[in-house]
Amino acid sequence: MATTGRSPQLLGFLLCFSSFAFFVVLSQGEVPSAPVSPSNVTDQFTFLSFKFLVTKNPHNVLSNWNSNISFCDWTGVSCGCGSQRVVALNLSKKALECTLSPYNSNLSFLQVLDLSTDSFHGQLLVDFSRLPLLENLIKSKNNFEGLIPQTVSHCHRLQVLSATENEFYESIPEFLGSLLELKHINLYGNRLTGTIPVTFSNLSKLELLNIGQNHMHRKIPSDLGSITHLTFFSVEMNNLTGTLPDSLFNLSALQTLSFTTNPLTGHLPKDAGHFLPNLQQLYAGTNNFDGPLPASFSNATRLQLLTAESNQFSGQIPLELGSLTQLKYIYLWGNMLTNAHGSRELTILTSFTKCRMLQKVHLSQNLLNGTLPVSIGNLTTNLWKLVLSSNLIE
C-alpha cells in the first residue's frame, strides 16, 4: 500500500544531509543576514528540521523559512533583542499538519511555544528539560496523544500549560504541582483518567484550573480550597463522585465554578454563597445533589448565571434569588422544587421582577403549584424565555 510518510532511515539521512548542506551554505557566506553563531545555527537547523516534517501547509505560511532570510524574520518566529536567539514560536491557526521531533528540544532560549488550533499529531517527543526558560506551552486543539511528558517537570518557569482538545490519556502527573509559577492549567477535552492531584494545592499563583470533559474519578480534593487566587475552576463532564468539599465555596476570587455533569451527591453547603463575592457563573446541573437550594447564593451579588438543573433539589425556590440584580440566566428544571409555603401564587416570579437583566428562566419539571401572579407582567422586557411546563400550575 502506498504511503505518504517517510521512513525513519530516510528521515535520519535527510536530516543529516540537510545539516551538512546548511553548514556548507553558511561557510560560503550565502546567507545575507546577521553573522551566524553556532547557537544561531542550532536554532535555524531546528526549524529547517521541523519544516521537513510538515506534511500539510495549505496556506504556504512557511514559504519564507529558508536560508535566504534571517530566521528571526520567519513566519511565527520571534528572537530576543541582541542575542538573536529564538524566544517564541507561534504557529497557531496555520492549519499545519506535522509531528514534533526531538530536534525541537534545541531551542534553549524558548519562552513561548504556541501550536494551538493546527493538526499536529503523535506523541510529544520534545525533551522539555532542555527548554528551561519556557513560560507558555500552548498546544490546544490538535491531535497530540500519549502521556504528558515527564520532562515538563523541569520547566520551573512555566506559567501557562494549555493542552485542550487533544488525545492525552492516563493520569494527570503529580509533578505539575511542583511548577510553582503556574497560573493557568487547561487540560479540557482529553482522555485523562485517575484522580485530581492533591499537589495542585501547592500552586499558590494558580488562577485557572480546567480539567473538564475527561474521565477523572473519585472525590474532588478538599485541599484545592487553599488555591486562593483561583478565578476559574471547572471539573465538568467527568466521573467524579462523593460530595463537594465545603472549601471550594471559600475561594473568594472565583468568577466561574463548574462541576456540572458528574455523579456528585449530597447537599450544597447552606452558606455556599456567603464567600463568593466575585462569582459570575455557577454550573451545578446534571448531578445527584439533593436537599434545599441554598438561599445564600443571593450573597453572590455578581452572579449572572445559575444552573442547577437535573438534580434532586427539594424545598422552595429561595425568594432571595430575586435580589441578584445582575442575574441573566437561571436553569432549575428537573428537580423537586416547590412554591413558597402557604402561597397560592408563584411568588418566585414576583421576586424575579427585580432582576432587570434576566433573559432566560427555566423552571419546568418541578413541583411548582398555584397560579401565575399578576406581577408577571412586570418582568423585565429583556426576558425572552420563560419555561414553566410540567409543573402543577393552575
Number of structural domains the chain divides into: 1
Burial of 340 per CB tally in 10 Å (0-12, 13-18, 19+):
middle
| This prediction's pTM | 0.89
Question: Is 203 domain-assigned?
Answer: no
Helix (H, G, I), strand (E, B) or coil at 201: helix
Question: Is 319 domain-assigned?
Answer: yes
Radius of gyration of the chain (CA): 27
In 3D space, the residue among 147, 62, 47, 54 whose CA is nearest the CA of residue 103 turns out to be: 47
For residue 125, what pLDDT is reported?
Answer: 84
Question: Is 145 domain-assigned?
Answer: no
Pairing of strands 86-90, 77-79: antiparallel
Whole-Å CA distances, 8 to 11, 12, 50 = 5, 6, 14
Q: What's the rounded Cα separation, in Å, for the pair 101 and 123?
A: 9
Are 249 and 272 in contact by the 8 Å Cβ rule? The answer is yes
What's the domain range around 288? Answer: 267-393
For residue 49, what pLDDT is reported?
Answer: 86
For residue 202, what pLDDT is reported?
Answer: 98
Q: What's the rounded Cα separation, in Å, for the pair 313 and 267?
A: 8
For residue 24, what pLDDT is reported?
Answer: 32
For residue 3, what pLDDT is reported?
Answer: 39
How does pLDDT run across 269-279, given as a tens digit for each residue? 999 999 999 99
Question: Is 350 domain-assigned?
Answer: yes
Low-confidence ranges of the chain (pLDDT < 70): 1-39, 103
Question: Is 274 domain-assigned?
Answer: yes
Question: Is 78 domain-assigned?
Answer: no
For residue 15, what pLDDT is reported?
Answer: 39
Q: What's the rounded Cα separation, in Å, for the pair 173 and 148?
A: 7
Q: What's the rounded Cα separation, in Å, for the pair 71 and 23?
A: 15
For residue 35, what pLDDT is reported?
Answer: 46
374: domain CATH number is: 3.80.10.10
Question: Is 101 domain-assigned?
Answer: no
Question: Is 289 domain-assigned?
Answer: yes
At 158, list the grid cell. Answer: 512555566
